[in-house]
């Protein structure tokens, strides 16, 4: 079983190829090939070339894949659209299902791995949504080490975030984006990792779990989630914020 994973929702371009079984090249499996770099605002433009490079390294084609996992947001508007478009194009070309993965779920899994968070623990993920707002969601670590999202994904001012419990881990770049507003949560958390971002290896792992549960969708049904429809502030909003 082979899954290609793509995330272009941030300034990090992230692509991974996860394989189980025997590859066409006879390579020992399971194995994961990954390219993950912070390339700035234009990072999503590199994704397709990276996908082709990983498939070449593994001597696989689109038709050898079982599914394509894609980070669907929330995140950078243009980056998400490009990632979803690449996933749709490959899925249509290879007659493959798609696995939509919420980017905050991938951040949660990255934090579980980086902080070695045990099962049963609570996690708060908060990422910068710009415009003085954050995307955030609460999680619990499952027995198999994957994040379980407990409620919806919320968009709010940093000071309106609600922690899941008295004992929680805090993940995401909202910590550095809004240090004053996030300070109480930082002091209350058991541990903090402000550096974790959506990573294709976690997109792949969550995608594999979704595939086993039968949660795949068709290429045409793969859609981004934005949480917020508008992508920029109006002139009056910017003026009000500058006076605050």
- Give per-residue pLDDT as tens, 181-192: 999 999 999 999
> Which among 158, 157, 156, 11 has a CA at the least distance from the CA of 75?
11
Q: Find residue 126's DSSP bridge partners.
A: 136
> Which among 103, 132, 124 has a CA at the least distance from the CA of 224?
103
What's the pLDDT at 161? 95
Domain with CATH 3.30.420.40 in the chain: 2-102+199-221, 103-193
Residue 130 or residue 241, greater confidence? 130
Query: Does 3.30.420.40 match the CATH number of domain 2-102+199-221?
Result: yes
Does the pTM surpass 0.85? The reply is yes
What's the pLDDT at 41? 81
CATH architecture of 103-193: 2-Layer Sandwich (3.30)
Asked if the model's pLDDT at residue 244 lies above 50, the reply is: no
- Give per-residue pLDDT as tens, 154-176: 999 999 999 888 899 999 999 99
Which ranges of the chain would DSSP assign to H, the alpha helix? Answer: 47-58, 77-94, 103-115, 174-177, 179-188, 200-212, 235-243
> Which among 78, 68, 79, 90 has a CA at the least distance from the CA of 16?
68
The percent of residues in the chain predicted with pLDDT above 70, rounded, is 89
Chain-centroid distance of CA 223 in Å reads: 14
217: confidence class by pLDDT, cuts 50, 70, 90:
very high
> Which of 37-41, 94-98, 190-194 is the least confident region?
37-41
Asked if the model's pLDDT at residue 240 lies above 70, the reply is: no
């Amino acid at each position: 079983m082979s899954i290609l994973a793509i995330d272009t929702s941030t300034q990090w371009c992230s692509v991974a190829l996860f394989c189980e079984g025997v590859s066409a090249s006879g390579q020992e499996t399971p194995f994961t090939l990954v390219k993950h770099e912070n390339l700035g605002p234009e990072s999503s433009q590199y994704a397709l070339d990276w996908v082709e490079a990983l498939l070449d390294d593994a001597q696989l084609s689109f038709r050898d894949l079982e599914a394509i996992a894609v980070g669907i947001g929330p995140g950078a508007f243009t980056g998400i659209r490009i990632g979803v478009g690449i996933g749709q194009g490959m899925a249509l070309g290879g007659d493959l299902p798609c696995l939509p993965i919420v980017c905050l779920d991938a951040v949660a899994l990255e934090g579980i791995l980086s902080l070695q968070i045990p099962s049963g623990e609570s996690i708060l993920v908060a990422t910068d949504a710009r415009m003085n707002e954050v995307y955030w969601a609460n999680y619990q670590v499952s027995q198999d080490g994957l994040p379980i999202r407990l409620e919806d994904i919320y968009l709010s001012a940093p000071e309106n975030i609600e922690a899941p419990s008295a004992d929680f881990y805090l993940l995401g770049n909202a910590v550095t984006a809004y240090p004053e507003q996030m300070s109480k949560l930082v002091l209350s958390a058991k541990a903090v990792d402000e550096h974790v971002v959506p990573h294709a290896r976690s997109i792949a792992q969550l995608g594999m779990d979704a595939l086993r549960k039968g949660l795949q969708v068709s290429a045409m049904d793969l859609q981004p989630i934005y949480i917020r429809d508008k992508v920029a502030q109006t002139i009056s909003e910017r003026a009000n914020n500058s006076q605050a």
